Structure 1
Amino acid sequence: MEPSPSPSPSLSPYLRTTSDAYDAVAVRYAEFVRGSLDALPLDRAVLAAFAELTLTSGGGPEAGAGAGPVAELGCGPGHMTAHLRDLGLDAFGIDLSPVMIDLAREAHPDLRFEVGSMDALDLADGELSGILSWYSVIHTPPQEIPSYFAEFQRVLAPGGHLLLAFFESADGPVTAFDHKVTTAYRWPIDDVAGLAREAGFVEIGRMLREPRQDERYRRGHLLMRKGE
């Protein structure tokens, strides 16, 4: 297995910290998340809704006739990208961590995985019918989040869909916490929805899930569509 190229040396300090931290725990992380969706029926349901909406109205010239490509941004070892494929989507993954990308390619050789940063994607304007961001913006400093939504807007076709999962802070405000890999943030779901709306997204629905016995925080999920 040839190693993936390292991220650009011009990465900002927080992106470099995140990349290095996930490189260091990649093998253990891949083992931890393997099969994790099996016990999460609500998570599977919101993913299925995202897939169905994307397949039937994915945006772009082929809208209504089957979706174009869908990117999982922050794909880690590729298990969620594979799940999207199993739901019928033309899915590929992008992650900041080269070691994660190597693991994803090894585990899912039939799928496409690339090293990259979701705030500066090597994708054309309007190229995607859908984006899955599954707990992948959680390490982003709050002041940087609007630039991520702007990039999601750029690469999605009109009518394309975005599913965002994150740790929710019911009592507000945005709160940093000691994530096991590196510092992460909990967001009030209304604040995330407001930033997405300012970026031009239309909310379709939301799902809040209470933490399981082995989880610390409530989980937020926002399903959105890029405006026409």
Structure 2
Amino acid sequence: MNMPLNTSANISDPVAQARYNMIEQQIRPWNVLDADVLELLTQVHRENFVPAAYRSMAFMDIEIPLLGTDAEEAVRLGHSMLQPRVEARILQDMQIKPTDRVLEIGAGSGYMAALLASRAERVVSLEINPALASMAHDNLRNAGVANADVRQADGARDPIPDGPFDVIVLSGSVVDVPPHLLALLRDGGRLGAIVGSEPVMRFTLVRRTGDRFETTSPWDTIAPRLVHFPEPSGFTF
């Protein structure tokens, strides 16, 4: 039986109450039932990875802007945190093991890297935006996360010398699964990405076995684009 983490009657801290409500009202109903994942969400404090101007929104079911004050512009440019339920579902579905080496594309504020690092051996997180790379680095350092390395790099175009990886996570959306990232997967490795174009995107999980890649798309969502990955040409015939 999947029991709640706690009862709201036992929570006197308003922040802890808001975190509890996020887990019980947003995340658990979205089929995130892994007890270890749910417990991790109470230990890695999301509010510490949110800009001060938006800290009161840390547990809301929204994409939180990370740079500037224009929320719509930040989301359009991909300068935002994914919704908490999306982050948690990705973490659950990737089935991170303690021996896994993980690559993340799109560090953002560093929150997803912190979650991944709490379950993996090592995380390399690439962030193309210098301000976000600095933010993620500082947030991870302040949280005491020592096994996650944030690098300013373009995950779509720059060489990635650290492979192969057991797990690759794209913290944003792409039109198609990037072949150059599939090539970085170790035998038995998994890649997770939100694939498609609005209004239809699906979380896509790819498992590598030798030279074969098995793909499943278990759930739908919408997420901001990762920049510089190929887009449709726009031509119609």
TM-score (norm 1): 0.50
Query: Which is worse superposed, 89-98 or 199-208?
Result: 199-208
- Residue 203 of structure 1 corresponds to 215
1:160 partner letter: G
> Which amino acid is the alignment partner of residue 214 of structure 2?
V
What CA deviation, in whole Å up to 9, does each residue of 1:54-79 have, x standing for no partner?
428xxxxxxxxx22x20110111211
Question: How big is the shift at 1:105?
Answer: 0.9
Correspondences of 1:129-168 after superposition (within 5 Å): 129-137=166-174, 142=175, 145=176, 149-165=178-194
Contact 1:132 1:164 in 2 (8 A): yes
In structure 2, what is the equivalent of residue 77 of structure 1?
A: 109
How has the CA–CA distance of structure 1 residues 157 and 126 changed in structure 2, closer, same or farther, with 3 Å as cutoff?
Answer: farther
Distance in 2 (alpha carbons) for counterparts of 1:127 and 1:204 = 21
- The residue that corresponds to 1:45 in the other structure is 89
Distance 1:104 1:136, change over 3 A: farther
Paired positions, count: 144
Distance in 2 between residues matched to 1:151 and 1:79, nearest whole Å? 25
User: How far apart in 1 are the matches of 2:165 and 2:185?
Assistant: 5
Looking at structure 2, the residues matched to 125 and 80 of structure 1 have their Cα atoms a distance apart, in angstroms, of 19
- Deviation, structure 1 residue 120: 2.8
Structure 1 gap ranges (5+):
1-23, 57-65, 169-173, 176-185, 210-217, 220-228
The one-letter code of the counterpart of 2:191 is L
- Rounded to whole Å, the distance in 2 between the matches of 1:155 and 1:204 is 19
1:101 to 125, 130, 133: 133
> Normalising by structure 2, what TM-score?
0.48
Answer yes or no: is the 8 Å Cα contact 1:81–1:91 preserved in 2: yes
Q: Which has the larger radius of gyration?
A: 2
- Report the AA paired with residue 169 of structure 2: L
Per-residue CA deviation, residues 121-174 of structure 1 (Å, 9 max, x unaligned), is 43248421111102143xxxx5xx4xx6111112211221111125x6xxxxx4
Amino acid at match of 1:122: P
Gaps of 5+ in 2: 1-64, 224-237
* CA drift at 1:49: 2.7
Residue pair 1:76, 1:100 contacting (<8 A) in 2 also: yes
Cα drift, residue 45 of structure 1: 3.5
